[in-house]
Amino acid sequence: MAIDLLSQITASIVDGDSDLTVASAKQALDSGIEPMIIIENALVPGMRVVGEKFSCGEYFLPNLIMAANSMKLAMQLLEPELRARQQTVKSRGTVVIGTVHGDIHEIGKSLVATMLSANGFDVHDLGVDVPIDKILSAVKETGASLVGLSSLLTTTMIMQKKVIEALAGAGLRSQVKVMVGGAPVSRKWAAEIGADGYAEDAIGAVDLALRLAAS
């Protein structure tokens, strides 16, 4: 039953049927499935399939947009549930997070921001297509100890390196740990650009942030 429901959510994402995505996500929640299971085991796999279909020319931009819209609407339902399940009292630190300049992919970055916030971090989400200067200003203004950089395009990954260089140039690098993520990003890339860590998904990002905050 749970597996059928999760498969139905995945299929609805692939079809870009937002009404069915939201209705099935609600049904899954009501039947006791944890929100993070719905996200990681149904919504994210659906987005992966959509990406593959786009890569091989079976899907086009409107398909990506419809799938993204379905996922966003489902996230509006699931985010409050995620927060409600992980209430922490003491702040674990301040995080500035954003999708790098030139890149408008939002969903993964927002999911990481939600999970960090649900796990006690004070999160300043700068949004998407964020210029380097805006990240530097936010780090100065908030006194953040952690910066999260998302990049979904091979062409914008280089901006993660540029942000790290700019933090160093502004004398802020020793104040902050930098974690990077996004579909084309890897542990190897993180090491190459001098980031402090790489996370594959939102749960990994929380683990990494907790480790970096403690180090």
Total residues in contact with ligand HCB, by rule CB under 6 A: 38
Query: How many Å apart are CA 198 and CA 168, to the nearest integer?
Result: 19
**Nearer Cβ to ligand HCB, position 35 or 181?**
181
| Cα Rg of the chain (Å, integer) | 17
Q: Does 44 bind ligand HCB (CB under 6 A)?
A: yes
Q: Does 57 bind ligand HCB (CB under 6 A)?
A: no
Q: How far is the CB of 91 from ligand HCB (least distance, A)?
A: 19
Q: Does 201 bind ligand HCB (CB under 6 A)?
A: yes
Q: How far is the CB of 59 from ligand HCB (least distance, A)?
A: 9
Q: How far is the CB of 85 from ligand HCB (least distance, A)?
A: 17
Q: Does 112 bind ligand HCB (CB under 6 A)?
A: yes
Residue from 215, 39, 182, 209 nearest 123 by CA? 209
Binding ligand HCB (rule: CB under 6 A), the pick from 93, 98, 120, 182 is 182
**Tokens coding 122:** 């004070």
Binding ligand HCB (rule: CB under 6 A), the pick from 31, 84, 184, 192 is 184
Query: How many Å apart are CA 19 and CA 74, to the nearest integer?
Result: 9
Phi and psi torsions of 178, nearest 5°: -115, 125
Binding ligand HCB (rule: CB under 6 A), the pick from 6, 42, 176, 205 is 205
In the complex, which residues of this chain contact ligand HCB (CB under 6 A)?
Answer: 44, 47-48, 50-51, 54-55, 61, 64-65, 67-68, 102-109, 111-112, 148-150, 152-154, 179-184, 199, 201-202, 205
